[in-house]
Amino acid sequence: MVSRVHRQRYPILEFDSSRDVFIDPYANYHYEGRSFHERVVLCFFQDVIGKLVLKHKARKIAVFRSEFGANPAYEIKFKGKAIAVMHPGVGSALAAGFMEEAISMGGRKLIACGGAGTLQENMTLGHLIVPTSAVRDEGASYHYLPPGREVKPDPKALKAIQKTLKKHGISYVLGKTWTTDGLFRETRGKVALRRKEGCLSVEMECAAFFAVGKYRNVQCGQILYSGDDLSGDEYHNRYWIYQAHLREKVFWLAAEACASL
């Protein structure tokens, strides 16, 4: 039965809860090697993934594809658990799609790790942020959940991340992140608005991860590190993508949290 979707003033508000779709990742996609794991780390650090292959002999277990080309997923063993590691792509639409495909192959416990721009003064480069909610200023989440301002992570995933960080005595902040599709439209007015409503950071995928997780009933949380700085009068890049040691550290914390789920 075709669901009735009512026309709204803005198309993005025309949410349809129906699961009767034309392209179903559970039925329409086929991969090279379907051996996958319920634990998945969605890692934005391609440099770290490369090191896992070269130094830790991570084994390729699947290949996801898009018009960008092949996107391999790898297996590592950590804390006695098999964990799949994959890059989720950049931006809410691609990240939601790759996450869907990982779930269709068996992923049930997913922890994402990435960087984010800081919106708060005095947040040093590398300080960890654990999102407790994400402002839905992107597109993908509106295809998974009814319109709303924010979406939250899975409570068990959030607890696992906090427990891991506390275990290692690592300081972090809990709070709201702003997910946007407009990388080059982070205006001063928008930043001021997001700061006023309590956002600590800005990134491009978190709300989509949490929305897909809720829709598919899987556990999903995220760890972010404070990267570039949008908190002042001028933008500061802070060379945030070149922090190799920091990025590797954040990855292993995400892997440990994932292993504990």
Q: Quick: pLDDT tens for 196-244.
A: 999 999 999 999 999 999 999 999 999 999 999 999 999 999 999 999 9
Q: Residue 19: what pLDDT? A: 92
Question: How does residue 30 score in pLDDT terms, banded at 50, 70 and 90?
Answer: low
Q: Residue 261: what pLDDT? A: 97
Strands 109-118 and 39-43, by their bridges, are: parallel
Question: How does residue 68 score in pLDDT terms, banded at 50, 70 and 90?
Answer: confident
Q: Residue 31: what pLDDT? A: 53
Per-residue pLDDT for 147 more than 80?
Answer: yes
Report pLDDT digits (tens) over 149-168. Answer: 999 999 999 999 999 999 99
The H or E element spanning position 87 is none
CA distances from 170 to 101, 164, 199, 232 (A): 32, 9, 21, 26
How far, in whole angstroms, is CA 164 from its chain's centroid? 18
Is the torsion defined by CA of 148, 210, 206, 164 positive or negative? positive
Domains, in order of start, for the chain = 34-260 (3.40.50.1580)
Spell out a b/e string for 228-257, using b for 16 or more CB atoms within 10 Å of the CB, else e.
bbbbeeeeeebebeebeebbebbbebbbbb
Mean of pLDDT over the chain: 94
Report pLDDT digits (tens) over 107-133. Answer: 999 999 999 999 999 899 999 999 999
Question: How does residue 26 score in pLDDT terms, banded at 50, 70 and 90?
Answer: confident
